[in-house]
Amino acid sequence: MRGSDYAELKAFAAVAEQGNFARAAARLGMSPSALSQTIRTLEERMGIRLLNRTTRSVAPSEAGRRLLARLLPALADLDQAVADVAALRDRPAGLLRINAPRVAIVHRLAPLVAPFHAAYPDIALDIIVDDKLSDIVAERFDAGIRLGEMVEKDMVSVKLGDEMRLVVVASPDYVARRGMPETPRELRDHACVASRWPTDGSLYHWEFERGDEKLEVAVSGPLSTTDNDLMLRAALDGVGIGYLFEEHVTDHLAAGRLVRMLDDWTPPFPGFHLYYPSRRQMPPPLRAFVDFIGRRRSRS
């Protein structure tokens, strides 16, 4: 059905119900002359008279009564469908699919699940662990989470948390055996737990910055992995030096199970961002989640 067809049929139903062009026009928010022309166009297109008109009254013809009997339930269903969709703006419901790396889920998304569910009980979250930076559009996700510096420029992004920091750590046992590096370059002479990019498996060169000086160090050691928990376990067990998110090791540092090093070379950097393709016609569950994040950030 074309939009003009719907408008003509709705106009016919209004005139038939009201029995008067002026009252029907006022209900539809149009002039009586425009409404009269709409009805004439409909009758000409259908090739049959739908309304009998006199100077005092308007009533459906036999064809008009038959059409009206089928038309009124259909229009009611359409109006209800539109109202149901509009209601989602105030009572969002449905599925929200989010793609995120494991570390973002642990430190950023997991604490949001319970309060978001309490605020929007009709929205179901489908959170997929993905460290490979998949294309969220091609994979049919509503949104993804990445470090701010890795979000594509054509995406809309919303800051999900505070700045983050990577820290260089080792066990006290390792430091007692091998000593502590004084500069990032000295890491080449140490056993390090190397990390691999999950996208292509290449080794990550540890990045450092102090003032205007920036360094990348290609570390090596007895273990390389893409798993942060395994890196942490290896550092705790004295296998080598690890380079991990500060939030991942806070408790171990406080308990003395790990010691930090090269602190002045590891400044904070932009943290994780929620990102999605466009602000236009956002799915109601995504709109609700973006608004929810915004409210939490405004209170913090």
State pLDDT tens for residues 220-230.
999 999 888 99
Query: Sign of the CA dihedral 88, 93, 94, 99?
Result: positive
Element (H, E) at 159: strand 156-159
pLDDT (tens digit, 9 = 90+) per residue, 21-51?
888 888 888 898 998 899 899 889 999 999 9
pLDDT at position 3 over 60: no
Strand, coil or helix: 280:
coil
Average pLDDT of the chain to the nearest whole number? 89
Task: Using alpha carbons, list the distances in angstroms from residue 278 to 46, 139, 150, 190.
Answer: 42, 16, 17, 46
pLDDT of residue 74: 87
- Amino acid identity for residue 7 in this structure: A
* pLDDT attached to residue 279: 66
Helix (H, G, I), strand (E, B), or coil: what is residue 220?
coil
Lowest mean pLDDT among 9-13, 183-187, 189-193: 9-13
Sign of CA dihedral 139, 197, 253, 167: negative
Torsion of CA 228, 233, 236, 242, to 10 degrees: -30
Whole-angstrom CA distances from 298 to 249, 267, 294 are: 27, 25, 6
Whether residue 1 is predicted with pLDDT greater than 60 in this model: the reply is: no
Tell the residue number behind the tokens 């259909």, with chain if given: 74
Q: Is 251 left (phi over 0), alpha (psi -120 to 50) or beta?
A: alpha
Residue 280 has pLDDT above 70, yes or no: no
Instruction: Indicate the residue type of 146.
Output: R
Full DSSP string of 75-124: HHHHHHHHHHHHHTTTS--EEEEEEE-HHHIIIIIHHHHHHHHHH-TTEE
Tell whether the model's pLDDT for residue 118 goes beyond 70: yes
Share of the chain above pLDDT 90, in %: 53
Q: Torsion over CA of 47, 48, 54 and 56, rounded to 10 degrees?
A: -100
Contact 10, 27 (CB under 8 A): no
Closest to 54 measured CA to CA, from 21, 80, 90: 21
68 Cα distance to chain centroid? 44
Cα–Cα distance for residue pair 107/126, rounded to 1 Å: 17
Give the mean pLDDT of 162-183: 94
Residue 206, classed as helix, strand or coil, is strand
d(CA 171, CA 234): 9
Long-range contacts of 230-235 (CB under 8 A, 24+ apart): 231/193, 231/195, 234/193, 235/169, 235/170, 235/171, 235/174, 235/193
User: pTM for the full model?
Assistant: 0.64
Asked if the model's pLDDT at residue 127 lies above 70, the reply is yes
Give pLDDT, residue 85. Answer: 67
At 261, which helix (H) or strand (E)?
strand 259-261
In one-letter notation, the amino acid at residue 172 is: P
Give CA torsion, residues 83, 89, 94, 95, to 10 deg: 150
